[in-house]
Amino acid sequence: MAEQYDHESIEKKWQERWRESAAFKTTEDPKKPKTYVLDMFPYPSGEGLHVGHPKGYIATDIYSRYKRAQGHNVLHPMGWDAFGLPAENFAIKNKIHPRAAVEKNIANFKSQLSHIGFDYDWSREINTTDPEYYKWTQWIFLQLYKKGLAYQSNEPINWCPSCMTGLANEDLDGNVCERCGSVVEKRALPQWVLKITEYADRMLNDLSLLQWPEHIKEAQRNWIGRSEGAEITFTLTDGGSLTVFTTRPDTLFGATYMVIAPEHALVEKYADAAVRTYVESIKNKTELERTAEGKEKTGVLLPGVKALNPATKQEIPIYIADYVLGSYGTGAIMAVPAHDERDYEFAKTFNLPVVQVVVPCAPDAINPPKEGLEEVKRDTVIVHLRDKSTGKYALLDWHGSLEGITTVIMGGVEEGQTPEDAALAEIKEEAALDASIVSSVRWITAARYCASHKNQNRCAHTWGFLAEVESIEKQGAISEKEQGLHTLVWVDEKEVASRLTPAHQKQVWYLLHHDEALSGPGYLINSGEFDGLDSEEAKKKITGSVGGKAVVQYKLRDWVFSRQRYWGEPIPIVHCPKDGAVAVPEDQLPVLLPEVESYEPSGTGESPLANIAEWVNTTCPQCGGPAKRETNTMPQWAGSSWYYLRFMDPHNNSALVGKDKEKYWAPVDVYVGGDHAVRHLIYARFWHKFLYDIGVVTTVEPFARLEFLGFILAEDGRKMSKRYGNIINPDDVVAQYGADAFRVYEMFMGPFENTVAWSTASIKGTERFIERLWRAKELVQEDPVEALEVELHRTIKKVGEDIEAFKFNTAVSQMMVFLNALESAKGIGKEQWQNYLTVLAPYAPHIAHELAEHHGLDISQWPTYDPSKLTSALVTVAVQVNGKSRTTIELAPDAPEAEAIALAKVAAAKWIGEGEPKKIIYVQGRVINVVV
């Protein structure tokens, strides 16, 4: 009777041993290669950890232990991000001090983590609310201030009426506070703002240096939202001017009106009663209501003034509409309804003129223009013909060299013909029917192709129509010449799009049914001297011709950095009546957060700190006269924007991080996290680049590689939440199944980046795996078991490669495969066992160490695999006949082709049948395909 594996006492034994021997204490060692592996540090909430949290921590722990076994010097720290609203709100609700709440929560988190067996160097633990830590957060702020990157502003900001504090744009979900769900208001308050926009381009460009998942990089790009365009100034009829930002200066000739934001300065000057009513209604509407109304465009004419389109010299009206944002660009646009979807919507609602100035034009994929040939422009028509009696549409299936091509009825517009005439004439010619025009495509479209019979390239400048016949009863005879070229076919409406071959004709069909603006590029029309130019080229030329200038705009706004709350880093500034805002001298840092009785928000827009006279009243560091401290605090993101640097040198009193230590450890080699990663990464990259500029760090990016973490859902498929009562506490799981089974299960659940629901049934599988491992120790013998060699070397290879690639699930699978083989072999050599336990140890460290100790084995060195041992003496080769697998044969992996084929022919004789195979394909060691 084999003894049961007692995970409780064995795991405890090893955890104690690691703790007591400080096994994972890390010091700089120039002789060893370094690896810095980091999790996004947790926010110690009152709810404690659920089983989703440790998933990332297990991954970094495996990576860290693996790298240690490879001889790397590994930095794998843990700390706490503990300032911010949730802690403060929690404290208010429970009537305790936030500091006490944080301490309690941290203790709880630490206890939960301690049972899972992580290899953290706890001597480097940091806490963002520790004055020794936030001293340096304040120091960074001062450096930003000194470089002019922190400034005061009185612009209206987002105010959350429930949290009673200002928020950055990034803290919102649409127009709702992401913390509490209240709808935010606009409030003008004195704010500290950081010039993150200064770094927008560098943050965008340096993404190319990073080994990050594409979707995270893309989210960063979206967030930065760079767009290149031009600023163009329109003169007004009152002698003034109005400047707009546009990315499409090429469409200037199509600008038939202008729109300014309700906040625009010009509004005041000309506002009449209607304008005021509109602007008021916008203010009173929450953004929620505005979104609920969808994309319905609203607006009102600005009376008494018009603008002059600098290209057409025509007077155009100016509207006020909320679809133009005051905070982007110049708060004003030139509206080009033909080429902008929003302007088009607005123009339709307000009956404004629409002028097409760009013709979309793509080269035909089947018959592209040939280089070197001259291009001739031809006016053409494309006409869809519907048989009213059947609802079917006419198409032409072409013959001869155009076999396989299907088009619609089309042709040229001859001298003296209108496009409508031409369309009807083509129908007469190709379908022998008298039809009438029902509708037409609003836009001219075009395609470039090569007319090889004429040896010229053509650009078909095309009008599109829909025509109709009552029925085809009156159809005449189609000429023999036309019959020879193509056959007229009638197809269902649904089929038309898929039957048409040329992309251009598909586009015309689409536009016949969709009334949309043309937002793509093309060549210019209705644009005077610029007609015929490519739109890309026209951008520069038109901008130049009207004295505009090229500019770059970003969606990214400067970072509103003040919070009117207690629980955050005080902003180290003193306001002096004489000297204005004065930086607190660095030797006076940290500016300590005062101990107070009442830290509840005042709601007045002033921080609770404002009420503490003895703290607020101070002397000016410059003139020595009386002055007041800045009472706003920093947002939660501040402390987490640089913490990865402090882990390198957590107890340094004279610098944020020592130069040598930074040089040794930076950058973070692997950074693991998920969820709200976008903002944190933007802010941290911004600060890091700033610190690079002032010489504090030596790398341009903080996180070389990022692995995105998929979440764990509750067993019911919903998010784990107190609200649903479906939280699973890792403490309970560890108590029941053991830390190793827990660790292996979380890695085995699926690909690391996948979101998967927890399954109590499935964790039993990894529990069995651990139990079977335990029993396998009875099978250990002195001599190696030959039959296990191949699988062992494969396992060493696969587990190592999979850890590098964060493909933990397949590594676990391979370790299970090996254990299966071991059980079948009914024995394993000591050295083989040692190698196996070594690769197992990062996943299941407790049992691996226990088993290793049992046989006196050293599992601290990662084994190397022998490539020559990855394949066995015989391989199974599939035999296919006509691509279908029929049977298999056994072969030496390097068997000569002739031998393989001979064997295959015999094995598959009954499928091959009589006669010689047409062809035989042999893929070494894999497959033989006999084609008969």
Q: Within positions 666 to 695, which residues make up the interface with RNA, using CB under 7 A?
A: 678
What residues does 192 pair with on adjacent strands?
A: 152
882 scored as a contact of RNA (CB under 7 A)? yes
820 scored as a contact of RNA (CB under 7 A)? yes
d(C-alpha 64, C-alpha 70), whole Å: 10
When binding is defined by CB under 7 A, the residue of 816, 848, 852, 912 that contacts RNA is: 816
- Bridge-based pairing state of the strands 358-359 and 361-363: unpaired
Q: Which is nearer to RNA, 292 or 613 (CB)?
A: 292
122 scored as a contact of RNA (CB under 7 A)? no
Q: How far is the CB of 457 from RNA (least distance, A)?
A: 24
Q: How far is the CB of 806 from RNA (least distance, A)?
A: 11
d(C-alpha 901, C-alpha 913), whole Å: 15
The contacts of residue 895 (CB under 8 Å, 6+ apart) are none
Of the candidate spans 61-69, 70-78, 682-690, 763-771, the one that interacts with RNA by CB under 7 A turns out to be 763-771
**CA angle at 905 for the pair 901 and 910, rounded to the nearest 5°:** 160
In contact, 337 and 517? CB cutoff 8 Å: yes
When binding is defined by CB under 7 A, the residue of 308, 491, 756, 892 that contacts RNA is: 756
751 scored as a contact of RNA (CB under 7 A)? yes
Using CA atoms, how far residue 187 sits from 353, 564, 568, 576, in Å, is: 38, 13, 21, 25
107 scored as a contact of RNA (CB under 7 A)? no
883 scored as a contact of RNA (CB under 7 A)? yes
The number of beta carbons lying within 10 Å of the beta carbon of residue 728 is 16
Q: Which is nearer to RNA, 584 or 821 (CB)?
A: 821
Q: How far is the CB of 470 from RNA (least distance, A)?
A: 32
Q: Which is nearer to RNA, 451 or 878 (CB)?
A: 878
When binding is defined by CB under 7 A, the residue of 768, 858, 872, 909 that contacts RNA is: 768
d(C-alpha 511, C-alpha 382), whole Å: 12
247 scored as a contact of RNA (CB under 7 A)? yes
The contacts of residue 125 (CB under 8 Å, 6+ apart) are 77, 78, 79, 80, 650
324 scored as a contact of RNA (CB under 7 A)? yes
513 scored as a contact of RNA (CB under 7 A)? no
Rule CB under 7 A: which of 267-306 touch RNA? 290-291, 293, 295, 297
When binding is defined by CB under 7 A, the residue of 94, 123, 222, 781 that contacts RNA is: 222
DSSP-assigned states of every residue in 347-375: HHHHT------EE-EEE-SSSPPPTTSPE
Q: Which is nearer to RNA, 170 or 649 (CB)?
A: 170
108 scored as a contact of RNA (CB under 7 A)? no
Of the candidate spans 59-67, 194-202, 596-604, 767-775, the one that interacts with RNA by CB under 7 A turns out to be 767-775
543 scored as a contact of RNA (CB under 7 A)? no
715 scored as a contact of RNA (CB under 7 A)? no
Rule CB under 7 A: which of 25-64 touch RNA? none
329 scored as a contact of RNA (CB under 7 A)? yes
Beta strands in 134-278 (DSSP E): 150-153, 156-160, 165-167, 172-173, 176-177, 185-188, 191-194, 227-236, 241-246, 257-260
Rule CB under 7 A: which of 126-185 touch RNA? 174
When binding is defined by CB under 7 A, the residue of 421, 809, 869, 905 that contacts RNA is: 809
Helical residues (DSSP H) of 604-729, grouped into ranges: 613-616, 637-640, 643-646, 659-665, 677-693
Q: Which is nearer to RNA, 436 or 885 (CB)?
A: 885
Rule CB under 7 A: which of 852-881 touch RNA? 876-878, 880
Q: Which is nearer to RNA, 199 or 758 (CB)?
A: 758
223 scored as a contact of RNA (CB under 7 A)? yes
Rule CB under 7 A: which of 197-216 touch RNA? 214-215
Q: Name the burial class of residue 270, with classes exposed (0-12), middle (13-18) and buried (19+) by CB atoms within 10 angstroms of its CB.
A: middle
Q: How far is the CB of 556 from RNA (least distance, A)?
A: 8
When binding is defined by CB under 7 A, the residue of 810, 853, 892, 917 that contacts RNA is: 810
DSSP, collapsed to helix, strand or coil, labels residue 396 as strand
552 scored as a contact of RNA (CB under 7 A)? no
d(C-alpha 46, C-alpha 97), whole Å: 13
E strand or H helix at 80: strand 79-80
Site string for RNA, 332-371 (x = CB under 7 A): xx------x-x-----------------------------
Residue 196's φ and ψ, nearest 5 degrees, are: -70, -25
d(C-alpha 420, C-alpha 467), whole Å: 10
Using CA atoms, how far residue 584 sits from 439, 613, 641, 860, in Å, is: 73, 18, 21, 51
When binding is defined by CB under 7 A, the residue of 111, 123, 759, 864 that contacts RNA is: 759
d(C-alpha 50, C-alpha 341), whole Å: 46
12 scored as a contact of RNA (CB under 7 A)? no
Site string for RNA, 892-911 (x = CB under 7 A): -------------------x
d(C-alpha 51, C-alpha 54), whole Å: 6
- Bridge-based pairing state of the strands 573-576 and 580-583: antiparallel
921 scored as a contact of RNA (CB under 7 A)? yes
Residue 236's φ and ψ, nearest 5 degrees, are: -105, 160
Q: Which is nearer to RNA, 208 or 653 (CB)?
A: 208
328 scored as a contact of RNA (CB under 7 A)? yes
Q: Which is nearer to RNA, 577 or 896 (CB)?
A: 896
The number of beta carbons lying within 10 Å of the beta carbon of residue 268 is 10
Q: How far is the CB of 919 from RNA (least distance, A)?
A: 6
Of 918, 915, 914, 930, the closest CA to residue 878 belongs to 930
Q: How far is the CB of 519 from RNA (least distance, A)?
A: 9
558 scored as a contact of RNA (CB under 7 A)? no
d(C-alpha 692, C-alpha 702), whole Å: 10
